[in-house]
Amino acid sequence: MTKPEMHKTNLRPRVHSEYARLARSTVFGATFLAILFVGGCTTQAEVDVPLPPEILPQRAVNLVERKIAGQVFWTTQGRETIRLSGAQILVYDAARLASARDTILRYEREQFDAISQTYPGRPSTMMRARIKIRDRVDLSWASLGNPIAAALTDADGRFELQAKLPEKIGIYCEADRKIFDENERHRWAVTEQEAIEPGRIILSNVNMLHR
């Protein structure tokens, strides 16, 4: 056997072993991805969140000419005061808004408790369920429909409104604030009695619906 032939013969086992190793890696990788895909699809299918209760429609109420004024702001953990400018202040009948708020909050609380018991030890599934719950909660708030009256806050978060309003009013307001890659949502749904200070309505950390 010549030296070149010996060199060529010695290469064959090494090349074959490299091909075998590559084939095993490819099969293992494909199998692993298939398991992840099937497992992910199964987990997605297992997330089951019931629809929230229907929000009752606005009932007829007596309206009187009124003037209301107030301000929307909140204070961060770093003691920075954020004044909410350009936000919509939506006015509803107090009883209807309070009823809708209690219904939505009860649904949200019950569903969060339910997924904790249904998906223990499965944080990714619980996270998807939480997102789904919050999406449905957002839709519930949107189903409040047209307000009786509305106003916009100014640069300092202040608002004034004079219109025909119910004798007892409820105020709804929401705002999104982006912090780095996360989106904070702040929401208020309060009756006038829950937000009143001398001469004005205040929406702040005290009566904010935390998410």
- Span 118-149, pLDDT tens digits: 888 888 888 888 889 989 999 899 899 899 99
Q: Which residues of the chain have pLDDT under 50?
A: 1-2, 4-16, 19, 22-23, 27-28, 32-45
**pLDDT value for 185:** 81
**pLDDT value for 46:** 59
CA 90 – CA 88 distance, rounded (Å) = 6
CA 111 – CA 52 distance, rounded (Å) = 9
Looking at residue 121, the DSSP 8-state letter turns out to be T
CA 27 – CA 3 distance, rounded (Å) = 37
CA 34 – CA 44 distance, rounded (Å) = 15
* Token reading at 134: 């919050």
**pLDDT value for 35:** 46
Looking at residue 56, the DSSP 8-state letter turns out to be P
**Straight-line distance from the first to the last Cα atom of the chain, in angstroms, rounded to the nearest whole number:** 80
Residues 27, 30, 32, 35: is their CA dihedral positive or negative? negative
Going along the chain from its start, the domains and CATH numbers come out as 63-207 (2.60.40)
Residues 34, 132, 179, 145: is their CA dihedral positive or negative? positive
**pLDDT value for 27:** 47
**pLDDT value for 22:** 45
